[in-house]
Amino acid sequence: MATVKELKATARPKAGKGAARAERRAGRVPAVIYGDKQAPVTISLDDKALRHSIHAGHFLTTIFNIDLDGKKHRVIPRDFSLDPVRDFPLHVDFLRLGEGATIRVSVPLHVTGAESSPGVKRGGTVNIVNHTVELEADVEHIPQFIEVDVSKLEINTSVHLSEVQLPKGVKVVSRDDQTLVTVVPPSGYADEAKGPAAAEGAAAAAPAAGAAAPAAGAKAPAAGAKAPAAGAVKAPAADKKK
């Protein structure tokens, strides 16, 4: 079940930048509710309550019941803006959720099992390639996050989207099998891997070089054997001429 929170709102009959600034000076945040084939409704929310909801996390995947003059509007935040300096909310867009609605949401990843990963134990580092995943979910089953287990990852191995178990009522939007998390090697890992391979190559080359020495030495007796043969032929030939 998706998390549902409550927010109280007041009607904001005036639109425009001037009216929005007046709301902020009064300690309220302008917002709008739209969707579900109904007319948009301009509202304002208490700054402190809204700020707490945003900074609590998972704001864009949380369903809210907005109480507007006694009427409940079931909504989900689709966008919000913050002051670039003071980081307080400036405006929020809420999507009205009808009965049985299905929406697309960007869900963050939670990585687990890093301390048990063989690759991490060997000095590797967990690298989150995609911090969020685009999913399609019915409003009753919007996940707050997707859990990715990396406890079996070695260095240079990864977890892909197709390997993750998704909750009921949730499906992937992208057709690509995205790489979510990988374990990258530590600095100098490639040089360390080359070291044993180079040592094995040198050990294999040493017997081959040693075997060549006896082969060269074997030619010496063959060359010495020719000398007696040459002497044996020439000596009798010289005696006949005398």
How confident is the model over 175-195, as pLDDT tens digits? Answer: 889 999 999 999 877 666 555
pLDDT tens digits, one per residue of 121-168: 999 999 999 999 999 998 888 888 999 999 999 999 999 999 999 988
Please choose, from the candidates 201, 207, 208, 152, the residue with its C-alpha nearest in 3D space to the C-alpha of residue 181: 152
CA distances from 236 to 74, 132, 225, 233 (A): 126, 102, 19, 6
Q: Is the pLDDT of residue 228 over 70?
A: no
Give the start-to-end residue ranges of the domains of the chain: 4-99, 107-189
Which is higher by pLDDT, 120 or 204?
A: 120
State the CATH class of domain 107-189.
Answer: mainly beta
Q: Which of 16-20, 49-53, 112-116, 142-146 has the lowest mean pLDDT?
A: 16-20
Q: Is the pLDDT of residue 241 over 50?
A: no
Residue type, 204: A
State the CATH class of domain 4-99.
Answer: mainly beta
Read off the pLDDT band of 15 (50, 70, 90): confident
